[in-house]
Structure 1
Amino acid sequence: MQKAELNKGDPALGVVSELKAELAGMARQLADLTGTMHTIIDLLGSIRADGWQVRAVAESMQISAALAADGRYADPKSLARFNRRMYSQQGEDGVIAEIFSRIGVRDRTFLEFGIGDGRENTTRFLLERGWRGFWLEGSPGHVDHARDFFRPYIESGQLSILQAFITAENINDLLDEVGVPQELDYMSIDIDYNTSHVWKAVNRTSRVACVEYNCTLPPNEPVCVPYNPEAIWDGTAWYGASLKVFEQIGAAKGMALVGCDLVGVNAYFVKHDEAFGKFREPFTAETHYEPPRFYSFGAQHGAPTTPKHWVSE
């Protein structure tokens, strides 16, 4: 089929040009509209997230008011009032200092799992005050930064750092490898997903322990994620264990649950024979549970994105 050709003077040529111009204009308008739609969608998502956070903060305040009714925050034996932050994420520095002010310091040794690059954790302040200890961290990059930043402490023999991905099966071999003594003054475990399983497996003892619990779980329910040696935290509430699980693990290790930080992240334990009369009793999850207040300071842990099965302990 032959195609018709338009001469320069043909009126149809002007019509075609006008149509092209109109189509180009419509395409630009459509692009602008698409951009505006994406902006609106992002704004709606932000509004939804902000609304979730406001609701979470309101719920946390209601829970806090209910908990305060039992006098926990006025009790001089409570630890909740001592959150102070030097290098720690959630004010652990102040709580640790208060605990040792009550029970005393002995050999000034510590062990911490999951230290990041070392600049923000629960034992840096102890290290800089003359304590001696051991750090274990799974990230090679974080360990390289820590070894460089804390080189003087490593060279003096005050600090040892081991890079390894920690599991319940390898933890005690790793501790043997780096020369961790059987008894320590302080131990901290924050490896997100498998914290409860690893603490249960550890064969070292400490006078004081700080472990991360899952505050989104009811404190009276002994539930945890199923053990998976390869699992890492996915950023949701699918991690760790309830405070009741840690209460039980601590009891099996001869330790009493003596408090939690105000943010609802860490639980603190002290050897039973050193805890009585010095901390708020009874030493139960119901007594010391603190709700998730980290919503007040940043993004929340969302619900798991796929169906999960919690394990009863």
Structure 2
Amino acid sequence: MLKSLTPFRQLARLYGSVLSATAALNRQQDTLTQLQQVVLQSRVEARGANSDATMLSAQIADRLADIAKRLNTVAAPLHIEGNRNIGHTWQDSAQLLASLRSELARTMPDNIALQGWNSYAQCDEDGIIRACLERIKGRTEMSGTFIEIGCGNGLENNTHQLLLDGYRGGWLDGNPRNIAFIAEQLGSLKSDHLLVTEAFVAKETVRPLVAQFREHLGTADIDFFSFDLDGNDLHLMPLALQEIAPKIICVEYNGKFPPPTNLAMAYVGDHQWAEDDYYGATLQAWVNLFQGKYTLVSCNLSGVNAFFVRDDLVESFKIYPVDQLYQPCRYWLVGNNGHRASMKWLKQKLAPLQ
């Protein structure tokens, strides 16, 4: 159900669908040509047939012509932000990312976003997360744990890769179809290495839900906490942090508004995104919320996720001004890293640990 997805995930999924449809249509140009030839041939044959057959053939030919017209229309180049073709391949996205990283290296050579890449994340979050964890290892004892609130169906999130790397964690999502898919693919929703929960997160439920993961993992000293909900994130985060003390936090921000704009949507317990710009909180709002506890160290290059490090560990990072670290929304960078994602590697990884 789209309404259970966060705004960016809805846009990302819609965008990915357009990419897939456009790529498929581009691969079917020969089929389209053949279809048009069938239309012409059908009309020719209709002229020499009896009256009933003529009418039927003409109807079929007209229907085929209509289908061909629709295919041809959909297959036309699609654009986003003026002249940017959204029918590009994943190689095009890689080139765009390389260009952005080149500029980043020039202006902020120690920005952790330079080490971004993706395996199961939307864009470059997997690499950023790994780099952040590597930076703090020498300063603190690692628990090898994570919690991800808003895990989706497990094929595209921030912590799938951590499980493959041997971390233990918890996944939560409010969409029953997502949880059913995970159960089907993995065969279980609970093991020592992964606890999966279906729940809608609100002010009344966030603390006990986070506490459930803390108890399962046996520690409040969580290494990585990903928090990506339905827009109420800024209001719920302080409650979640009453139960755990994560070293690194990843949150979604509303990239439409650069710093110092400080905006956060009003809390609505049953909020559903209206597919407009009213969702979540700006980067500045998150910085202000975390002041004195967590420090912003990077934003990913698609302009969606911000990474904060606990202040007692932040010396491992070079801190740049908020307005420099801010990245605007770049939905066309939503990653396609080649082959279709599956849960097979994770099932193999977890099987001996069940």
Q: Give yes or no for the alignment of 1:263 onto 2:299.
A: no
Letter paired with 2:178: H
Which one of the candidate residues 134, 138, 149 is aligned to 2:170?
134
Aligned position for 2:280 = 240
Does 1:174 pair with 2:209? Answer: yes
Residue type at the aligned position of 2:186? F
Alignment of 1:45-194 (within 5 A): 50=79, 52-54=81-83, 68=103, 71-73=106-108, 75=109, 77-104=110-137, 106-151=142-187, 154-155=190-191, 157-180=192-215, 181-194=219-232
Q: Distance in 1 between matches of 2:80 and 2:252?
A: 27
- 1:68–1:50: structure 2 CA closer, same or farther, 3 Å change rule? same
Are the structure 2 counterparts of residues 139 and 109 from structure 1 closer, same or farther at C-alpha, using a change threshold of 3 Å?
same
Residue identity matched to 1:294: Y
CA displacement 1:222-255 (0-9 Å, x = unmatched): 1021111111333333211110011112225x11
Partner of 2:327: 290
Distance 1:163 1:71 in 2: 44
* Mapped contact 2:258–2:328 kept (Cα < 8 A): no
How far off is 1:280 after superposition? 2.9
Match of 1:275 among 306, 309, 314: 314
Structure 2 letter corresponding to 1:281 = I
Aligned to 1:307: none
Deviation at 1:43, TM superposition (A): 5.4
Amino acid at match of 1:96: I
Q: Give TM-score, length-normalised by structure 2.
A: 0.63
Deviation >6 Å, runs of 4+: none
- Checking the alignment, whether the CA contact within 8 Å between 1:56 and 1:295 is kept in structure 2 is no
Contact 2:105 2:114 in 1 (8 A): no
1:68 and 1:216 map into 2 onto residues whose CA distance is 21
Q: Is the 8 A contact 2:151 2:171 kept in 1?
A: yes
Q: Distance in 2 between matches of 1:229 and 1:56?
A: 38
Q: Any gaps of 5 or more consecutive residues in structure 1?
A: 1-27, 299-313
Q: Which has the higher contact order (CA 8 A, sep 6+)?
A: 2
The structure whose Rg is larger is 1
TM-score (norm 1): 0.70
Amino acid of the structure 1 residue aligned with 2:194 = L
Shift in Å, 1:137: 0.7
Query: 1: CA distance between counterparts of 2:162 and 2:111?
Result: 22
Q: Percent identity?
A: 28
In structure 1, distance between residues paired with 2:212 and 2:181: 21
Tell me what 1:195 maps to: 233
Asked if 2 retains the 8 angstrom alpha-carbon contact of 1:86 and 1:125, the reply is yes
1:158 deviates by: 1.2
Measure, in 2, the Cα distance between the counterparts of 1:82 and 1:70: 11
Rounded Cα–Cα distance in structure 2 between residues aligned with 1:219 and 1:192: 22
Distance 1:122 1:245 in 2: 22
Q: Secondary structure at the match of 2:232?
A: helix
Whether the 8 Å CA contact 1:53–1:295 is kept in 2: the answer is: no
Give the whole-Å Cα distance in 1 for the aligned partners of 2:236 and 2:83.
35
Deviations 1:45-97 (A, max 9, x none): x87x626453699xxx9xx98x9489434x1x211211111111122110011
* Residue 144 (structure 1) shift: 1.6
Distance between the aligned counterparts of 2:165 and 2:325, measured in 1? 29
Name the CA distance, whole Å, in 1 between partners of 2:272 and 2:246.
Answer: 26
Query: In the aligned structure 2, how far is the partner of 1:117 from the partner of 1:290?
Result: 26
**Gaps spanning 5+ residues in structure 2: where?**
1-57, 87-95, 336-354
* Contact kept in structure 2, 1:133 and 1:159, CA below 8 Å: yes
What amino acid sits opposite 1:289 in the alignment? Y
Counterpart residue type for residue 102 of structure 1: R
Q: For the aligned residues, what is the CA RMSD? A: 3.5
